[in-house]
Structure 1
Amino acid sequence: MFVEEILARNRAYVLGRAPRPLAPPSQIDLAVITCYDPRLDELLHPALGLEEGKAFLIRTAGAHVEAGGDPLRSLALAVYLFGVRQVAVVGHAGCRMAAFDTAAFIDAFRRRGVPREAFGPADLRAWAGALPDPRRGVLASVAAIRATPFLPRDLSVCGLILDESSGALEMTQAPDQAVPEGAAVLPPPAGPEPEPAVKTGRGAPPPRPAASAAVSASAAVRPADASPGLEPARSLVRILAASAGWGRDFKRLREELARDAGPLTRLQDLERFIQKAAADSKDVAQALDRLRRETRATGRLSDAPALLELLWRSIREAQP
């Protein structure tokens, strides 16, 4: 088992190392947001001229940052608890998120027994944060950081591209340079979501179970927007809007959400509102339980992006 190998390597490491405590926490001026590609591990610190422990490294697929995402929470903690004042978003020229193979991704998760519906209704390229190109991805991440309301306005943010072969850095966005208009938002994926090629013979995934005639007939007349969980999400929104105790608050929250670019910017407000309403109203609680079952969501709403996306879509559709 891999954990046994890890523990064995750790025992060998401990035998050759004298015990010593970590250095006391100190102010760290720089945070670097970069790609999690393991090929960059030995390159990043020397290419950026960083000493160990002198910068926060926040790593995501494609160095991608979007409004309300976890990297921004980590960055906020680094800013307010450790004194970070400068942020560098570092993409790399050969980033594989700029050549995201959707068909291969679908084929891989189906082979592991995970259905497409588990990822929610969004296009998988958008769900994964696929990039049109590394430079455009860096610009969008810089813009997302600068637009985050809980980060200070004097936070210096720049964008860089790393050439993996030479180790050279190219500045694509200076700290005092405005992000070009339109670059802050990644374009939506073009065309339909690719499907993996059908494979036959040895090594091919097992065929899907044949649908019954009743299921096939219902699928034929199913509307295009019948995403799993969408109907219970709409039902929950209707109950909230009609509630005598929560209808007015729901209307106000809907107006606040409409003023923002998306639900994640007011994620905590949306989560608190629904949890309070569910605790107060049996109808709301039952509707929320049904939505969780159909989307397989457990734990906090903020840990279930597909569920929140369905709720946001249903809130936007709801009539004032």
Structure 2
Amino acid sequence: MNAALFTAPGGPEVIKVQRVPVPEPGPGEVLIRVAAAGLNRADVLQRQGHYNPPEGATQIPGLEVSGTIAARGRGVSEEFWPDGVEVCALLSGGGYAEFVAVSSAQVLHVPEGVSLEAAASLPEVACTVVSNLSHTVQTHPGQWVLVHGGSGGIGSFALQYLRELGAHTIATGSGEEKLAWARAHGAQHTIDYRTEDFVQRVKEITAGAGADVILDVVGAKYLAANVDALAVGGRIVTIGFTGGTRGELDLRALMNKQGGIFSVALRSRPEEEKAAIIASVGQRVWPLVEAGRIRTDVDRVFGLHQADQAHAYFDSGEHRGKVLLRV
């Protein structure tokens, strides 16, 4: 089969399509004939040499796919996962290929009303948002939630999910176009971080209380400011490090807020945890997707042999919504 691989750490030019063996589904696994694969920030970090696959996982990148069942390993129900049924899956790797083997517990049927290709845009973002906002920090209706990067793929999905949870939402972004995108996806209030002090604005919006939950993709650069913007008893969950991985924090400030800081990588979680997250996504998110209450926006689709071009486009920051590889 064909697969796109990173031949060395570096830019998009290190991506090459090569011939590799078709994987064999092991016990409890299914083999998926891939229709499309989603491109994620984690793929870029892996390409740059900063985010290696978990031990034992394939070196082929790609953390989410859509496609059809092609075969089953021992112990997998043919009745539930028959040949040809349309599915999407959360992976530890292997999505940039014509076939991928994955635990059947990490697979969901494609939601009604969603095309097979577009379904590749769902697993990673849905699992990231649900696992962090509902499982890790247990967001409740009526709470104030600050979402950094509200126009990004994670941010815009999180804003829609939070709206359905009944939370109050604030999103940061740069420029009116991005802020308008965030509002269109559920942000009740927006803050332009280039021209406004987001800590001050959060306190104004919340009548001085601060944010109960902060979903952060920036990391070290915002560490102290996030604590300052936090409500008493609030929680920060960090899922990205575009602003660095090392920062300084006055622990007294965090203690005075009686707050907590969490950061859990989805890719490295044990299979049983991923299975629980997938089940939760199927229960919480799929009905909302099928009802048209939550959507992902596919910006552009590239062919597998254009994976280098897809990464270059992703690196440009010009995309609004998901970038996919058609396999």
TM range (shorter): under 0.3
Q: Which protein has the bigger strand share?
A: 2
- Whichever of the two has the greater Rg, that structure is 1
TM-score (norm 1): 0.26
